[in-house]
Amino acid sequence: MSALRQKMIADLQLRNYSPHTIEAYVRCVAAFARHFRQSPDQLGPDHIREYQIFLVRQKKASWALFIQTVCALRFFYHTTLGRKEMIDYIPYPRQEKRLPIVLSQAEVASLLQATNNLKHRTILTTIYAAGLRVSEVANLRPAEIDSRRQVIVVRQGKGHKDRLVMLSPHLLELLRQYWKAYRPPLWLFPGDDPHRPIRARSIHRICRRVGAAAGLTKTVTPHVLRHSFATHLLEAGTDLRTIQLLMGHRSLKTTTLYLHVSAQALCSTASPLDRLCHQQSGESG
């Protein structure tokens, strides 16, 4: 490992970035350096612009990867290299505003019934039942399932914050079946190495496979299940502040996104066309 990489990792650790974020940032900066076959501390504004154009036009990088690369390069130049003037050359682009994909309750039911693999079904059910992020479900420990209080303790979620989420009685029963079958000693959902948690990419792969087996036309990811959790709560009458706390959102503004995807809220609002037609009908009568 180069001294520059070690310094960046140390800088990230000192600022309490999560291991997942550290790995992602280092990977982004390494990809940037590989593209030009030079050490990143030898690259400047023109290289950054050229690389961003490459990500958009040639690689067709996802919005998430593009933003992650911007964040990684900003941290690398500003903090690790101390070149604060470089921040002006790595601006955040205007964010695309897209509504999240949401499964209906019938689609969620089909998904959860589409696999006979107890571990896979338990992972997917836990994400949906508690609205967990993929990193949060991957890093759950058995002791964090508090059956007496009927809660799941989420340790150090996004923003390094602990929070409590509800423990569904149906999920608890499934978790007990899973526990009897697997007896996980350290992590609730271990990976191939029982001493390490399941990898996020493995959970994404499970979602894709089970979604295909269920015959769903929508893309199924852990985040889609999380979005579905929040939307279904809203449609059931749960207030936004409670949903914000359950989701672990720092801002209520983030939670209000689900107002735009709630089918129940949309359908209960009458179109002005209906009122117009009703008035015309009354006048003609």
Cα distances (angstroms) measured from residue 162 to each of 153, 172, 204, 209, 245: 7, 21, 24, 31, 11
Summarize pLDDT for 208-247 with one digit per residue, the tens: 999 999 999 999 999 999 999 988 888 888 888 888 888 8
Query: How does the average pLDDT of the chain come out, rounded?
Result: 87
pLDDT value, residue 178: 97
138 is written with which tokens? 């991957």
Partner residues linked to 152 by β-bridges: 145, 165
Cα 285 from Cα 270, distance rounded (Å): 22
Whether residues 49 and 113 fall in one domain: no
- Report the phi/psi class of residue 103: left, alpha or beta, with left for phi > 0 and alpha for psi in -120 to 50: beta
Where does the pLDDT of residue 272 fall: very low under 50, low under 70, confident under 90, or very high at 90 and above?
low
Q: Residue 202 is part of a domain; what is its CATH number?
A: 1.10.443.10
Tell me: the pLDDT tens digits for 45-72? 999 999 999 998 999 888 888 999 999 9
The domain of 242 spans 105-266
Tokens of 128: 């949906």
Residues known to be catalytic: 133, 158, 223, 226, 249, 258
192 φ, ψ (degrees, to nearest 5) = -60, -35
CA atoms within 13 A on the CB side of 284: 6
Per-residue pLDDT, 75: 96
List pLDDT tens digits, range 129-166.
999 999 999 999 999 999 999 999 998 766 667 888 99
Please give the Cα distance from 4 to 51 (Å, whole number).
20
Domain count, the chain: 2
pLDDT at residue 127, rounded to an integer: 95
**Quick one: 223 and 114 in the same domain?**
yes
Same domain, 28 and 130: no
Residue 15 has pLDDT above 60, yes or no: yes
Residues 80 and 34 in one domain: yes
> pLDDT tier at 284 (50, 70, 90 boundaries)?
low
Sign of the alpha-carbon torsion through 136, 138, 143, 145: positive
- Give yes or no: residues 143 and 229 share one domain: yes
179: exposed, middle or buried (Cβ count in 10 Å: 0-12, 13-18, 19+): middle
